[in-house]
Structure 1
Amino acid sequence: MSDQIVLNNIRVYAYHGCLSEETKIGSDYRVDLKVEADLNLSATTDDLKDTVDYVHLNAIVKREMAKASKLLEHVVKRINDAVIEELESVKSVETQIAKLNPPIMGDVESVSVKMTKLRD
């Protein structure tokens, strides 16, 4: 299947990290989300009920990003699990979270974690 809905560069301010400063001060994040689903029906009907609502996808990202975690892997898994659980037409989901200007030694624009989940 190659039908996809992609949300690029969802900007979120959140409180993830292992350092206490990160959970107090927070940081800027960028989230990219890609889902695969059969979009042929919605392409024909032009009806929102026949597709994957990207407003719902964005709401899942915002909700899960608001829950502080030590590791980005944990947040990515929560997002992927929620998408599969809440949107039955989604066949797979790929989420990438980038922490912008991470507090590591050196000039690093971002660090990111990307994971994919397939519907069983």
Structure 2
Amino acid sequence: MSDRIELTGLRAHGRHGVYDFERARGQEFVVDAVLELDLGPAARSDDVADTVHYGELAEHLVAVITGEPVNLIETLADRLIEVCLADPRVSAATVTVHKPEAPVPHTFGDVAVTMRRARTR
């Protein structure tokens, strides 16, 4: 599938991490999500009901980011992928979770985990 909806740079405050101080004060997480689906029906109908509403998708993703804490951003990415694949029209999704405030004792630009999952038919 070559059609995609991309939502990049979604920011939310979460309390994910291995260390107690990460859970206590939390930090900003940045998420990029790419959904692969057939956008032809929406293009023909010009009706938002025929596509994935990216505003609603953002709300669901933020609910996961701000919700129950997990130790690893790998686990967080997996939960976010499940949100993306909840719509049966989505054939595959790629999610990147950026943790710009990761507790790394050196100067760095980014820490991120990327996962891609395709729907099993």
Task: Normalising by structure 2, report the TM-score.
Answer: 0.94
Residue of structure 2 equivalent to 1:81 = 82
> Over residues 91-112 of structure 1, what are the superposed CA-to-partner deviations in whole Å (9 max), with x where a residue is unaligned?
1110000001311110113210
* Identical positions, percent: 28
Residue 47 of structure 2 corresponds to 47
Aligned length: 119
SS in 2 for 1:2: coil
SS of 1:80's equivalent in the other structure is: helix
Gaps of 5+ in 2: none
Q: Partner residue of 1:97?
A: 97
Distance in 2 between the 1:110 and 1:101 partners?
8
Deviation per residue, 1:26-73 (Å, 9 max, x gap)? 111110000000000101110011111112211221111122110001
For the aligned residues, what is the CA RMSD?
1.0
Match of 2:28?
28
TM-score, normalised on structure 1?
A: 0.94
Q: Secondary structure at the match of 1:100?
A: coil
Give the equivalent residue in structure 2 for 1:70: 71
- AA aligned to 1:59 is E
Q: Which blocks of at least 5 consecutive residues in structure 1 are unaligned?
A: none
Q: Secondary structure at the match of 2:111?
A: strand
Bigger CA drift: 59-68 or 24-33? Answer: 59-68
Moved runs in structure 1, 4+ residues, more than 6 A? none
